[in-house]
Amino acid sequence: MRTILLVRGEGPASGEEPQLTISPSTYEAQRLETVKFQCRVTATPTPSITWSFSGGQLPEDSSQLGGTLTLPRVTESHQGVYVCTASNVHGTAQAQARLLIASRRSPPTARVEPERQTIMQGSSGELRCIVSGIPKPAVSWSKVGADLSNRHKIEDDNLYISDVTIEDRGLYVCRAENRDGSAQASAIVEVERREVPAIELYPEATQVVLRGGSTLFQCRVTAGIPTPTVEWIRADGSPFTSSTEILNGGVIRFNRVTGDEEGTYICTAENSGGRVTAKAVLQIQGAPVVRIIQANPYRVR
């Protein structure tokens, strides 16, 4: 009798390498919130699952149960990428989940100081936009009904206006915006007109008067905003004589001149827009003297 022994060799083990999905793949958590990432694996045979943290070791307070990673009371130190690794005899697979920690948020608020102001023409002005919000809001400025010009500059949330003109008056709006919302506030700007004074001398710039006579010059204001002030002085700096009067309306009057009044007088008109002057010249002539000479006296009855 002959015995035959058959030995059957085993072929390759059946199965599949791991396939992973992570839920959620990205999560933004509030501070002190408990976060869970679920790593779901399909594979044969059942793979081993481990979690790691791209920034180093897993936080000490984290825990893993099966494919679930739990992170309690998260803070900024937990923020980063978490990696799930699954391995079996057929291979290894990895997937990532990203944890973000939301910063403290609050919607914007805005107010403008001052809420109303009057700026003199030709000068400069400033509007301050006071904002709050987390994250810090972005600030923009606009003018209702018109565009901002190259004389309008925005620096540190404030609006600066240089060389102000009448066209700059109006309503200005500050807008503050962050990812949680927007707010706006407005302010009114008025512009006080300024105009350089203009004057003329009446009746004329040079007058001749006889000694003992009277006359006047009027320094008439023909332009100027705000209303200019008018002042008369003598060109040589000497005081006025007792016969000289300064009246309203820019008038200088000379009463019964004696000769000391003769000279040049300067009228000055001035306001916030500027200053102008004009010169008036007073000339005084002596009155003719009449003498009666009689050789033979006679008696009047």
Domain CATH number, residue 168: 2.60.40.10
Q: Which of 47-56, 252-261, 284-293 has the lowest mean pLDDT?
A: 284-293
**Average pLDDT rounded to a whole number, residues 236-243:** 95
- Of the residues 192, 223, 241, the one at which a domain ends: 192
List the helix and strand counts (H, then E) for the chain. 0, 24
- Of the residues 102, 125, 141, the one at which a domain ends: 102
| Residue 281 domain flag | yes
| Residue 119 domain flag | yes
| Residue 1 domain flag | no
What is the number of structural domains in the chain?
A: 3
Position 68 confidence tier, pLDDT thresholds 50, 70, 90: very high
CA angle 140, 141, 147 (to 5 degrees): 130
At 251-287, the pLDDT tens digits run 999 999 999 999 999 999 999 888 999 999 999 998 5
Shared domain for 233 and 203, answered yes or no, is yes
CA angle 273, 148, 108 (to 5 degrees): 120
| Residue 232 domain flag | yes
- Of the residues 102, 119, 146, the one at which a domain ends: 102
pLDDT on residue 165: 93
Shared domain for 182 and 204, answered yes or no, is no
Shared domain for 216 and 149, answered yes or no, is no
| Residue 292 domain flag | no
CA–CA separation, 177 vs 132, rounded Å? Answer: 10
Shared domain for 148 and 88, answered yes or no, is no
| Residue 280 domain flag | yes
| Residue 298 domain flag | no
Between 102 and 193, residue with greater pLDDT: 193
Best CA proximity match to 136, nearest among 111, 100, 108: 108
Shared domain for 276 and 202, answered yes or no, is yes
Domain containing residue 172: 106-192
At 159-215, the pLDDT tens digits run 999 999 999 999 999 999 998 899 999 999 999 888 889 999 999 999 999 999 999
Helix (H, G, I), strand (E, B) or coil at 258: coil
| Residue 256 domain flag | yes
Q: Is the pLDDT of residue 4 over 50?
A: no
